[in-house]
Amino acid sequence: MAQSRATSRGRGSWLLAGLALPLLIAHAGTLDVVFDGDTLRPVMPDLHFLTGRSLERLKDARTVVLLSQITLLREDRVTPFRRAPQRFYVSYDIWEGRFKVTIPGATPESRPGLTAAQAEAWCMENMVVSALGVPPDQDFWMRFELRTADPKDMASIVSESGISISALIELFSRKPDGEPHWTMERRLRLADLRRSPARRNW
């Protein structure tokens, strides 16, 4: 039976995270997964991250940095065998009341003129992990993590070669300190997932 969990956790605080479970389920819903060609993509229509403190920062003309990480773990729920980090820079045009999302990199990609719902959806569309090489009849776990990051943290996370996995893991293990932070998990088996068409473009 598929299982899902939503937690907000600091380093070594799995017990406390379990106590916080009902609160975050109410805000984020459950973790669904789309088998999208050769990738897995989390789907959480009830998860809204351009709200509250993040929205206040955006309306103060500050850029919000979103960091996501999808980790595939073996059946023991401990041993990772694949990670897929991603980062997004979100800004807000106070005159138009619209959002702009940029995915940096060698070939940056941007989407301006978005509503909050469209901006969140486009971010989620771009949080994927490869399923290549995963045995279809083998159980494994997907862990989805998302949080905002202080721009000053980015210097230690991103280098010329890309995102530092070790620095990202360390960041996600920190106590959130009031920053929005979501962690959700689900047990999966590829053979149980229906393949979906390739993801749409905005």
3-state DSSP of 149-195: ECHHHHHHHEECCEECHHHHHHHHHCCCCCCCEEEEEEEECHHHCCE
Q: CA nearest 120: which of 176, 54, 169? A: 54
Structure tokens at 111: 């989407």
Q: What is the pLDDT of residues 106-149, one digit of tens each?
A: 788 999 999 999 999 999 999 999 999 999 999 999 999 998 87
Q: What is the pLDDT of residues 30-68, one digit of tens each?
A: 889 999 878 999 999 899 999 998 999 999 999 998 999
